[in-house]
Amino acid sequence: MQITELTESTDIGALSPVKTFQACVQVDELILFDLDFQLRVRAQETGAEVYSRHIRQQGMDIAWLPRGAYRLTVRLDDLSLPVGHYKFDLLVWSNANGQPTLHDEASIEGELGEPCDEPGISQAQWRIQSCDKNRDISELSWNKQHSDWFFRHFDHASRVIVNMLLGDSPRLRGKILDVGCGDGIIDLAVFLRCQPELLVGIDPFKGFQRLPEIIEANHLPAELLNDPNLQFKAEDGNAIPYPDSYFDVVLSWGSLEHIAGGYHKTLEEIRRVLKPEGLFFVHPGLYYGPVGNHLGEFFDDPLFI
């Protein structure tokens, strides 16, 4: 990911001077996760930092961006600093395996004239747009949040597993098995985020065969499925076709309660194929909550959906 252009302007017609920055940003990777943009202001003479603001501090969570060109606009209202020369830095970050990664930075030198009457600097106003007229950022899942079915799997569930409950463990870069992978959306997200040696999703109902059309409908590049280290197989959790102590991590989200004959044998199989001190993430679907449980078929209560 790189900044290909950075420009600034000042709206002199406003009640107070307003600095606006525009940057062209190119994502060369197929997909980047957990992006963050930072605007930093430094005194030109001393290099001392006098202001810093991240896009995440505004509550804008750019969970991922596919390959392409984007335009970032940052508007600083009521920039109240002493008259002088400053450097304005734009930094581009993403998250890889729990570690922030700086991709690029660009700087512009500029002057500030008369400060406004009110002290301090207001929060930066950020906006990001695709340079492709056929791609609307608002259609990406992280802009739709929990009302979107794809978001709940690709964005939310993968973060719960990778970041929250497994703590970005190094084991996630080994061999991973998902028992009852369904359509494979969670597996795809975990695989792309962690880049493991191998990730295998098994499900006898072959819902994962729909994955190509799902990723196309949600504005992801089809090439994401070309990696041979991401595999899906129509296998049964009661007879996992892998040797003992093979996997570093085993996942199962909302699946164990659906296994024919109960989940006792599947748990035995999971224990067999999981390495000693390996990690097991399990999320049974039968819980009492307003969103995401599997009790709707038994109750008329509108809280159960």
Q: What is the CATH number of the domain that holds 116?
A: 2.70.50.60
| pLDDT score of 5 more than 60 | yes
- Residue 11: pLDDT band (50, 70, 90) is low
Q: In this model, does residue 295 exceed pLDDT 80?
A: no
Q: What is the rounded average pLDDT for all residues in the chain?
A: 87
User: What pLDDT band is residue 135 in, cutting at 50, 70 and 90?
Assistant: confident
Across 191-218, average pLDDT: 96
Which one has a higher pLDDT value, 257 or 150?
150
Classify residue 295: in a domain, yes or no. no
191-214: average pLDDT: 96
Question: What is the mean predicted confidence (pLDDT) over 181-185?
Answer: 95
In this model, does residue 115 exceed pLDDT 60?
Answer: no
Q: Model's pTM, two decimal places?
A: 0.86
Average pLDDT on 30-57 reads 92
Let me know whether 180 and 69 are in one domain: no
Digit-coded pLDDT (tens) for 241-272: 999 999 999 999 988 777 777 788 999 999 99
The verdict on residue 293 lying in a domain is no
For residues 105-131, average pLDDT = 75
CA 39 → CA 18, 22, 107, 129, 223, distances in Å?
15, 11, 10, 17, 33
43 lies in a domain? yes
Highest mean pLDDT among 11-25, 84-98, 198-212, 283-297: 198-212
156/126 same-domain check: no
The percentage of residues in the chain with a pLDDT greater than 70, rounded to a whole number, is 86
pLDDT value of position 82: 79
Residue 289 within a domain: no
Residues 48 and 148 in one domain: no
Query: Same structural domain for residues 275 and 148?
Result: yes
Are residues 83 and 199 located together in one domain of the fold? no
Residue range(s) defining the domain that contains residue 261: 144-283
Q: Are residues 163 and 274 in the same domain?
A: yes
List phi, psi (to 5°) of 302. Answer: -65, -15
Instruction: Give a yes or no: residue 55 inside a domain.
Output: yes
Q: For position 125, what pLDDT does the model report?
A: 85
Do 56 and 113 form a contact (C-beta atoms < 8 A)? no
Query: Is the residue at 23 inside a domain?
Result: yes
pLDDT of 133: 85
What is the CATH classification number for the domain harbouring 257? 3.40.50.150
> Strands 247-253 and 230-233: what pairing?
unpaired
**pLDDT top residue among 78 and 223:** 223
- Residue where a domain terminates, one of 79, 105, 137: 137
Same domain, 125 and 213: no
Residues 30 and 122 placed together within one structural domain of the fold: yes
Q: Distances from the Cα of 105 to the Cαs of 4, 27, 40, 93, 287, in angstroms?
A: 10, 14, 10, 9, 46
**Which of 137, 156, 174 is the last residue before a domain boundary?**
137
108 and 196 assigned to the same domain: no
Residue 236's closest CA among 186, 275, 181? 181
pLDDT tens digit sequence for 117-127 = 555 556 678 99
Residues 37 and 157 in one domain: no
What total of structural domains would you count in the chain?
A: 2
Specify if 297 maps to a domain: no
Task: Provide mean pLDDT across the span 57-84.
Answer: 86
Q: What pLDDT, on a 0 to 100 scale, did the predictor assign at position 19?
A: 79
Q: Is residue 147 a contact partner of residue 91, using CB atoms and an 8 Å limit?
A: no
Residue type, 267: L
Q: Which of 137, 166, 200 delimits the end of a domain?
A: 137
pLDDT at 192 over 60: yes
The pLDDT confidence band at residue 16, using thresholds 50, 70 and 90, is: low
For residues 14 and 105, state if they share a domain: yes
Assess if residue 190 is contained within a domain.
yes
Sequence-distant (≥ 6) Cβ neighbours of residue 104 within 8 angstroms: 1, 2, 3, 91, 92
Task: Kindly report, residue by residue over 229-244, the tens digit of the pLDDT.
Answer: 999 999 999 999 999 9
Q: Are residues 72 and 94 in the same domain?
A: yes
What would the mean pLDDT of 159-180 be, rounded to a whole number?
Answer: 95
